[in-house]
Structure 1
């Protein structure tokens, strides 16, 4: 039994270590240049269109959420009269 476990361990180790690794390009220096560039844009918008859309969506949700909270507070502060 022990011999079979050792053989299994050997096979799995060989399979994992001999598998080809994907070569991934390092994009960090490119991103550092982009975000450290002094072009007058705020850092949260330097990522492009996706950052601008995400920023606008966040602002819309914030304004709508704040409006809803104020509406609910007004409703809670002025309860309806029961006739």
Structure 2
């Protein structure tokens, strides 16, 4: 039983350490070039369509959230009518 556990331990260690890692390209230089160029575009929109959608969604949620807070404050400030 001990030999089987040691064999299993060796096998698991060998497959984990010798497995081929996925190569990831370093794209930092391209991103730096993109974000540092002077194109007249705001920095928060230079990332493309995804950044534009994220910006618009954030602004929409902010405006609706502000409106909801004002509505709730107004409704809390007004006295309730007794029936």
TM range, smaller chain = 0.7 to 0.9
Match of 1:11 in 2: 11
Match of 2:47 in 1: 47
TM-score by length of 2: 0.85
Moved over 6 A (4+): none
Match of 1:25 in 2: 25
Match of 1:37 in 2: 37
Unaligned runs of 5+ in 2: none
- The Cα of 1:2 is off from its aligned counterpart by 3.6
Matches within 5 A, 1:40-79: 40-79=40-79
Cα offsets for 1:12-41 (capped at 9, x unmatched): 121122322222111111111111112222
CA RMSD of aligned residues (A): 1.5
- How many corresponding residue pairs? 83
d(CA) in 2 for partners of 1:18, 1:71: 61
- The Cα of 1:7 is off from its aligned counterpart by 1.9
TM-score by length of 1: 0.85
Match of 2:82 in 1: 82
